Structure 1
């Protein structure tokens, strides 16, 4: 009877250790090996690096286009890391108008497919509740990104859309 108990305990311990080793190998494979192989095989455009842009809406444009709101200026500084089609990075967004001035740091996750880039922005500061999404097209031989971004207006509690134009910053 003692031998059966000992063999049972050894079997349980061996099963637990085997499970832990297989789980560790799976995590290593999916986190390191698969992305490495994908980046080696990737034949597409590289968009890694720094991108920047700005926007300005003047009082004259608001009157001509019959827009709501006040004149504003905004700046975007986007830093992208690329692994095949997957994109990660950060965005520093600066905004100013006569009523307020602020900047927000975002974490960026996205995907590139056939020259289009989809990016999702979540604030690094978890106290901030402003989120955004952008759809951009690669233009000018890979030197500019042109499109729109949608973001949550935390004051009016609705979704706003503005144009986004970014150019690649050469290193």
Structure 2
């Protein structure tokens, strides 16, 4: 093997290893260091926990949402179970995913279905009240029944631990 071939192979290998090392360092910084720092300096309200919301809609439809919210600095995420009940019938359950943030007592949530084949979107804007155990605001969603966008005022309450 000639000296030129050896130098070329070493250059390629060291370039690939350096690129891989820089990539993993950037991922580590973005996924570990930045969230840790944001959590360290965040001084806002802690909204993590179990939250419930009940909506009475026309034609005897009751929707109850129970959400387990996690918080990392100003970012919110979690799972929500929607129970739809019409006139005492057996409730129908829908499992949803929530992503959002909190800024200056204002909460925004974007809720979608866990099932990729299901059309589902809900956007919520809430204001945190009192000691942080109540949020009030407005919810707008796509209603697949009539195929239109609907909305209503909502109130979310945190369950006591």
TM-score by length of 1: 0.87
The aligned residue for residue 42 of structure 1 is: 42
The aligned residue for residue 64 of structure 1 is: none
* Offset at residue 100 of structure 1 (A): 8.6
The aligned residue for residue 67 of structure 2 is: 78
**Equivalent of 2:132 in 127, 133, 142:** 142
* Offset at residue 147 of structure 1 (A): 1.0
TM-score by length of 2: 0.92
Q: CA RMSD in A?
A: 1.7
1:53-92 alignment, distance < 5 Å: 53-57=53-57, 69-92=58-81
List alignment gaps of at least 5 residues for structure 1: 58-68
What secondary structure does 1:27 align onto? helix
Partner Cα separation in structure 2 for residue 100 and residue 136 of structure 1:
30
* Offset at residue 154 of structure 1 (A): 1.0
The aligned residue for residue 154 of structure 1 is: 144
Partner Cα separation in structure 2 for residue 122 and residue 39 of structure 1:
26
The aligned residue for residue 115 of structure 1 is: 105
CA deviation vs aligned residue, 1:62-104 (integer Å, no higher than 9, x gap): xxxxxxx512211110111111111111111111224995221
